[in-house]
Amino acid sequence: MKVIIPPLKSQGIKTKLVPPILELVREAASTGRWIEPFMGTGVVGFNAGFPRALMSDANPHLVHFYAGLLNGDITPSSVRSFLEYEGALLAKSGYDHYLHVRERFNRDFAPLDFLFLNRSGFNGMIRFSRKGLWNIPFCKKPDRFQPGYITKIVNQVTRVREVMTGDWSFTNGSFTSTLLSAVAGDLVYCDPPYFGRYADYYNGWTEEDEARLFALLDRTPAKFILSTWSHNAYRHNPMIDAYWSRFRIHRIEHFYYSGGKMENRNAVVEALVVNF
């Protein structure tokens, strides 16, 4: 299958895990809503094939970008025009223009500035300071936005817009409120930050958060799929034994390249936890 690639990038994006996740989606055979409380880039939800979806995240900038696509405030043509204009300034001024856009975004939080920073920041990372400000450094490629690269992003925007043809909504909120809205017949997909590894999450992630997520999923009337990590060459995920081992677990070897720590640059065994 050809996976729909979203225009926003992040470390830990589930692009290569979409096929095995979709096998579980088909097995679940749910006919209600697709509910995703940790939307991130949205790659799994955009490929799940549900006409009704509730996509939520604690990071308002992810939500506002995709909500803009849904309501028409952001279009493929506006993305192209913006990236062509800002890309030309980046090619001329390099790091200085990246800093200019970063300062502008941290003041106004415009969704297209977020896209620009996401695609020109270092190593495909999404990271904010404790004050909620973008703090990813420049990728050091002033010529980043070549015509072919812009067209690639525009095509990704177009494809994602095509998916949102049914009853879709994007909300900025807690995973608790999102999960409490699930009913029988819905399918919940959870991709929380990976405890004990790296957390690109907007508000951080603790063991208390993991315990709260378990309590909600343990009693949800909906079916769920949870992505987490099982183990790597260095250690095991203690949350598996503490919470998730009581459910059915599918394990898949996967590679992440997530920054400078050597332990995060090796194969990791992914755990897909389901309650069906």
Give, rounded to a whole angstrom, the gap between the first and last alpha carbons of the chain.
24
Length of the chain: 276
Question: Each residue of 97-131: pLDDT tens digit?
Answer: 999 999 999 999 999 999 999 999 998 889 999 89
d(CA 13, CA 41): 7
In the chain the domains, ranked by start, together with CATH numbers, are 15-58+173-274 (3.40.50.150), 74-160 (1.10.1020.10)
Percentage of residues of the chain with pLDDT beyond 70: 93
Q: What is the pLDDT along the chain (276 residues), one digit of tens a residue?
A: 899 999 999 987 889 999 999 999 999 999 999 999 999 999 999 999 999 999 999 999 999 999 999 999 999 999 999 999 999 999 999 999 999 999 999 999 999 999 999 999 998 889 999 899 999 999 999 999 999 999 999 999 999 999 999 999 999 999 999 999 999 999 999 999 988 775 555 667 899 999 999 999 999 999 999 999 999 888 999 999 999 999 999 999 977 655 545 544 568 899 999 999
d(CA 82, CA 89): 11
Q: How far is CA 195 from CA 165, 183, 209, 227, 246, in A?
A: 35, 27, 9, 11, 18
Token readout for 49 is 């094939």
CA angle 146, 64, 151 (to 5 degrees): 20
Q: Is 137 exposed, middle or buried (0-12, 13-18, 19+ CB in 10 A)?
A: middle
- With tokens 């050597």, the residue in question is 262
Question: DSSP assignment of 100-140, as one string?
Answer: HHHHHHHHH--HHHHHHHHHHBGGG---B-TTS-B-PPB-S
For the chain, where are the E strands, in sequence order? 34-36, 52-57, 167-172, 187-190, 223-232, 248-255, 267-274
